[in-house]
């Protein structure tokens, strides 16, 4: 049933919204240039954690996690529930591959 599949997707995104509560964070609009940086990237800071959203039809390569302080961070794809490893600020590069989007959380270790 198409309706139940769409409902499942909606419930998944609603759960992520409730768990992360990203609208309560600060949008860091100066970190990325939407007209220049590829893939398209956005960042939100909420407490000591940073949340990144990367968008592209298809992408394979390195993304930059900007805005970090000089400590170690555990990076996690919070949609897929996958650990993506450790990085160190203030600027970290992470090798990734994704279709459509990649949403990650960087949490200080």
pLDDT tens digits, one per residue of 18-73:
888 888 999 999 999 887 889 999 999 999 999 999 999 999 999 999 999 999 99
* Every domain of the chain and the residues it spans: 25-108
- The class level of CATH for 25-108 reads mainly beta
Which pLDDT score is estimated for 2?
A: 57
Strand partners, 97: 60
Torsion of CA 63, 91, 65, 39, to 10 degrees: -40
pLDDT the model gives residue 37: 84
Using DSSP, state whether 38 is helix, strand or coil. Answer: coil
CA atoms of 85 and 69, how far apart (whole Å): 17
pTM beyond 0.75: yes
CA gap 55, 99 in Å, rounded: 8
Please report where in the chains the tokens 């998944």 appear, as a residue. Answer: 12
């Amino acid at each position: 049933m198409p309706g139940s599949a769409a409902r499942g997707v909606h419930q998944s995104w609603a759960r992520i919204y409730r768990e992360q509560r990203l609208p309560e964070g600060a949008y860091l609009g100066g970190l990325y240039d939407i007209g220049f940086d590829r893939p398209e990237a956005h960042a939100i800071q909420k407490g000591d954690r940073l949340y990144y959203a990367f968008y592209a039809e298809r992408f394979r390569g390195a993304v930059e996690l900007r805005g970090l302080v000089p400590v170690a961070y555990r990076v996690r794809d919070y949609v897929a529930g996958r650990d993506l490893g450790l990085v160190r600020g203030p600027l970290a590069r992470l090798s990734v591959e994704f279709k459509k989007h990649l949403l990650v959380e960087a949490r200080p270790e």
